[in-house]
Structure 1
């Protein structure tokens, strides 16, 4: 075929992609594992079978079953005929040929482990590939009950196993797309960053990547006992047992509704689920002792990530986006702040009391109820888990770099600040339409373009081995890159929060709090 329809041979067969206008070649919807339905439902991913002839790779594969959050369920057609090929990936490459030897960047999407798909426009890898000179890979992995519920008769952490299978595909095939399998960087945000943290702790993922960028690492990892208890509630919503046999009889498109139902009433389980009951997060990676032997912080502190160069960071106002979506932005009462402090602050009881609030009030004496509410949520869920992951990496003899995004997005009148997810359009350079338009407004994008260019250059420079442009993090100086209108290198800005959480050990959340 011509240059506009490049062809590549993979281990499974020939693929035909498309050359974008003034851009890289792109191959979409490449299966990296067999569809996990029927006899393979709730199983570990199986290698994809080969095909004869040339397979067109021009359209994204169907997403895995989704939660109804943000209308994502409407984008997933469940197990309809021909739409069960959830486990696919996409490749953007400036130079589709086996001799190019370009660095590779593999993206893991976020979505609270309940939603997410690689075909969203904000994850288009064309600009990163074109301007950064890298091969970009995005992939689907199972989410929700399909991917993360701990159920009898099924391996734990199936969504993580999907990611490992995709990375194995990259190892075996990316050279044909112009990539270097020995220069793979995995990057992810939110649940994608949590997945990445888990991969760093998983023996099955060892050696599949040499660099990693974890953007806003969530602290939600479940013990097996907690995950088992939550799975029982999922099954109870359907009048079934929490087994692969029972749940496997439910159409994939129907299953996320059970997860949504439990997520909507988690407050009823405060005595059993502790701080988690004050969230709407019913699934997360499970520290099962086998697929994921220990929580990431413990694994890295013991040296599990020593051979992987790590970048970690967070945004300044992580929780503000969720406040806007939940209708609490500008509406937080003293009582709501007290409950949040009691549930999430170090020293709190995980319940409705306010045992942990005094330390926060003392550390932030000028903060009103809304700021305290936002701070403790941000710290518990993203900011301190991210910081502690970098510190664990350094303690384990590895190398880590840290950043904080402090630039306030102009979207929604500027009220979102440097909120959760703002780094995604900046890193990909996709600044308009969809979620980016909500965060960044309708333009003009001059400031966003300048900051995006800096972040893209840092991420692709890191992936290529050229460096980030700021020093490594250490326990004494704690120097970090602060991304703002004028980026600077400074001591970690959130010192008050760091001090409050200094003695806290992040790990698997336990049944009973």
Structure 2
């Protein structure tokens, strides 16, 4: 069955099943082509007739990520699927009618260099089943998304997410969603972007609630740190560090130089490398989001996994997890509780995956199957699966997914508001 929705830029035809309706690859901005890859997002010109929204979109140019024996394709998705029009959203909804249902907008992770809404983990059927309209967002990555260049706006990937939220405000009623009840949520890099939205004036009023999963309120590079990455990229390409020069270079070359950017020493006299060398890209800000939160009444649900660093196989995973996620999450939590009129709720996820011989534990990304209520899917299990060979505890996914839905609906996930002493001492 092929339901249709009428949007301001044109009609789209999706797919209906027992969970609801799915509309894929809907553009929220014009395709970033050539020099336009380094411009702010601009509105899509629209289309005539009915656009086929039954197939997934291309993805942002990105490298292959390898985690050895652990199969992370459900998290990273298919990698680079070529095509110009990748600034798109997928929409899962109970029905494209005049209902005013809670809306959740998901921003994927992947270290600011990989990922897409095509990843199997971001299946929106459980949200549609439970009366929520889920929107999953693609945004620019790597050099086009986050390299700081003269003549280009900074943080173009973040500008894409803001443009997608504007699209939601203007368009989501066509899919049965309530534009006045939007929750933006993200994981890892997507969570860091979500935290930055709380400190970005252009995003004010575009969402009512936010969920930050394993992100950081202190994960941005300083302009000095970003300048080192820019200089290395320009040197590797043999061009000037300007948007004009980079605009003439094909995406393939941007991926080829990534090894030359890996392992740069980004420590300065005033700032450590907030990503501990794991990515040469991040937001570029003069002040960390946790130090620049806007006022308002945005509710926040925020937390981490208890063994985040286990995913990376380092000698001291606990210290890495604290550097990447723990300290920045604690600071953002405290800042929100002080600065916002909205409620602050904290979670800690501790279920230990039995993957990698039981060594993976409650690592980075392990909470996602429970949030999306897909933890029983066979592609997450077995010797190479993210959740390992053992079955997960009965009811855990239903409880966690239910808490996310309840928070999106009412601002209350089902437990008490943040207590600084209890969570962070």
Aligned to 2:323: 380
Q: Secondary structure at the match of 2:198?
A: helix
1:271 to 1:185, Cα distance in 2 relative to 1, 3 A = closer
Q: Secondary structure at the match of 2:250?
A: coil
Alignment of 1:7-406 (within 5 A): 7-20=4-17, 22-70=18-66, 75-78=79-82, 83-97=83-97, 99-130=98-129, 132-218=130-216, 219-263=218-262, 265-267=263-265, 274-275=272-273, 278-287=276-285, 294-300=287-293, 304-323=294-313, 328=314, 332=315, 373-398=316-341, 399-406=343-350
Q: 1:412, CA displacement in angstroms?
A: 2.0
Equivalent-residue separation in structure 1 for 2:48 and 2:248 (angstroms): 32
Asked whether the 8 Å contact 2:274–2:324 carries over to 1, the reply is: no
Equivalent-residue separation in structure 1 for 2:78 and 2:108 (angstroms): 18
Asked whether the 8 Å contact 1:411–1:439 carries over to 2, the reply is: yes
Asked whether the 8 Å contact 2:77–2:120 carries over to 1, the reply is: no
Asked whether the 8 Å contact 1:76–1:253 carries over to 2, the reply is: no
Q: Secondary structure at the match of 1:170?
A: helix
Q: 1:241, CA displacement in angstroms?
A: 1.6
Aligned to 1:407: 351
Equivalent-residue separation in structure 2 for 1:187 and 1:125 (angstroms): 13
Flag structure 2 segments of 5+ consecutive residues without an equivalent: 67-72
Q: Secondary structure at the match of 2:86?
A: coil
State whether structure 2 residue 384 is matched by structure 1 residue 462: no
Q: Secondary structure at the match of 2:345?
A: strand
Alpha-carbon deviations, 1:111-131, whole Å to 9, x = none? 11111101111111112221x
State whether structure 2 residue 366 is matched by structure 1 residue 422: yes
Aligned to 2:69: none
Runs of 4+ aligned structure 1 residues displaced above 6 Å come to: 71-74
Alpha-carbon deviations, 1:465-496, whole Å to 9, x = none? 16211011133xx4xxxxxxxxxxxx32xxxx
Asked whether the 8 Å contact 1:312–1:387 carries over to 2, the reply is: no
1:162 to 1:277, Cα distance in 2 relative to 1, 3 A = closer
Asked whether the 8 Å contact 2:380–2:388 carries over to 1, the reply is: no
Equivalent-residue separation in structure 2 for 1:277 and 1:385 (angstroms): 11
Equivalent-residue separation in structure 2 for 1:281 and 1:459 (angstroms): 29
Equivalent-residue separation in structure 2 for 1:30 and 1:243 (angstroms): 31
Q: 1:76, CA displacement in angstroms?
A: 1.2
1:255 to 1:408, Cα distance in 2 relative to 1, 3 A = same
Equivalent-residue separation in structure 1 for 2:199 and 2:336 (angstroms): 11
Q: 1:11, CA displacement in angstroms?
A: 0.4
Equivalent-residue separation in structure 1 for 2:51 and 2:229 (angstroms): 41
Q: 1:244, CA displacement in angstroms?
A: 1.1
Compare the two structures and name the one with the higher helix fraction: 1
Q: 1:278, CA displacement in angstroms?
A: 4.7
Q: 1:220, CA displacement in angstroms?
A: 2.0
Equivalent-residue separation in structure 1 for 2:207 and 2:333 (angstroms): 17
1:26 to 1:443, Cα distance in 2 relative to 1, 3 A = farther
Q: 1:41, CA displacement in angstroms?
A: 2.2
Q: Secondary structure at the match of 1:416?
A: coil
Q: Which stretch of the first structure deviates more once superposed, 242-251 or 435-444? A: 435-444
Q: Which has the larger radius of gyration?
A: 1
Asked whether the 8 Å contact 2:221–2:273 carries over to 1, the reply is: no
Equivalent-residue separation in structure 2 for 1:317 and 1:9 (angstroms): 45
TM-score by length of 1: 0.76
Task: Select the residue among 439, 450, 457 that pairs with 2:386.
Answer: 439
Q: Secondary structure at the match of 1:75?
A: coil
Equivalent-residue separation in structure 2 for 1:234 and 1:14 (angstroms): 41
Q: 1:452, CA displacement in angstroms?
A: 0.9
1:208 to 1:120, Cα distance in 2 relative to 1, 3 A = same
Equivalent-residue separation in structure 2 for 1:148 and 1:104 (angstroms): 27
Asked whether the 8 Å contact 1:222–1:284 carries over to 2, the reply is: yes
1:185 to 1:280, Cα distance in 2 relative to 1, 3 A = same
Q: 1:40, CA displacement in angstroms?
A: 1.6
How many residue pairs are counted as aligned between the two chains? 411
Asked whether the 8 Å contact 1:122–1:434 carries over to 2, the reply is: no
1:319 to 1:106, Cα distance in 2 relative to 1, 3 A = same
